[in-house]
């Protein structure tokens, strides 16, 4: 997994200032802005992404 650099800033998810990593653009009303998240929120986002993608791999249980 590729590691992105930590930069000083603030987390879009928990709004705490500190070292954050770029997580991608956020878009609203035709405009976009860069979004950053702290390490705990990145871990949460990774779990969300993993869960979301596993849904598409799910086979019937029986
Ligand atoms: Zn955070």
CA dist 60 and 31 (Å) reads 40
Neighbours of ion ligand 1 (CB under 5 A): 11, 13-14, 38, 41
CA dist 53 and 42 (Å) reads 16
Residues 21, 42 contacting (CB under 8 angstroms): yes
Tokens (6 digits) for 49: 């992404």
* Tens digit of each residue's pLDDT (9 = 90 or more) over 10-55: 999 999 999 999 999 999 999 999 999 999 999 999 999 999 999 8
* pLDDT band for position 4 (cuts 50, 70, 90): confident
Whether 1 shows a pLDDT value over 60: the answer reads no
Whether 59 shows a pLDDT value over 90: the answer reads no
Residues 58, 52 contacting (CB under 8 angstroms): no
Distance (angstroms) between ligand 1 centre and the Cα of 12 equals 7
Residues 13, 35 contacting (CB under 8 angstroms): no
């Amino acid at each position: 997994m590729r590691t992105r650099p930590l930069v000083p800033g603030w987390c879009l998810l928990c709004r705490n200032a500190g070292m954050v990593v770029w997580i991608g653009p956020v878009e609203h009303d035709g405009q976009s802005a860069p979004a950053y998240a702290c390490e705990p929120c990145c871990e949460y986002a990774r779990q969300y992404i993993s869960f979301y993608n596993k849904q598409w791999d799910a086979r019937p249980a029986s």
